[in-house]
Amino acid sequence: MKTNPLAKQTAKHLREVYFGGNWTTSNVRDTLSDVTWEEATVRFDNFNTIASLTNHISYYVPAVLEVLKGNPLVAKDEMSFAHPPIARQEDWNTFLESIWENVSEFADKIETLEDVQFFEDMLEKKYGNYFRNLHGIVEHVHYHLGQIVLIKKYIRGDK
């Protein structure tokens, strides 16, 4: 029987930062569960909005998922903060739902990788290996999740 513990652990790590169960006890879904569309789009001082940070942390999930499916990387860093228009609660809910679906599909796909693939270059040497990219996505989420939590507190006056 073939095993791929690194792939399974990486997928678990991704799911935990988005859906809960990690040792930090912080995750994206719980953090955003009570955020209204108004809160998500309000600009506090010169910080990014919660919506733009949420898009930013999730931007490379569908892009790298496509790479794992054998397709080219189609993403640009400068587009990572640009999210669909959010003008009502339904827009915000739809936006979040698409993120949850993308993350779930991405984690499922990661689980199918052979562990040896983690140490191969992702597409080109300039991108580094799969391990760096997949774990980098999780690290990136943790980093910006802290910002989202702080912005949420400031918006609500919970300084």
Q: Which of these, 49, 47, 19, lies nearest to 141 by C-alpha position?
A: 19
CA distance 78 to 126: 18
The predicted structure's pLDDT at residue 44 = 83
The predicted structure's pLDDT at residue 5 = 96
Quick check: pTM over 0.85? yes
Q: Is the pLDDT of residue 1 over 80?
A: no
Q: Any idea which architecture 5-153 has in CATH?
A: Up-down Bundle (1.20)
How confident is the model over 108-113, as a mean pLDDT?
A: 97
Q: Sorting pLDDT into bands at 50, 70 and 90, what band is 2?
A: low
> pLDDT tens across 62-95, in order?
999 999 999 999 999 989 999 999 999 999 999 9
Q: Sorting pLDDT into bands at 50, 70 and 90, what band is 159?
A: low
Boundaries of every domain in the chain: 5-153
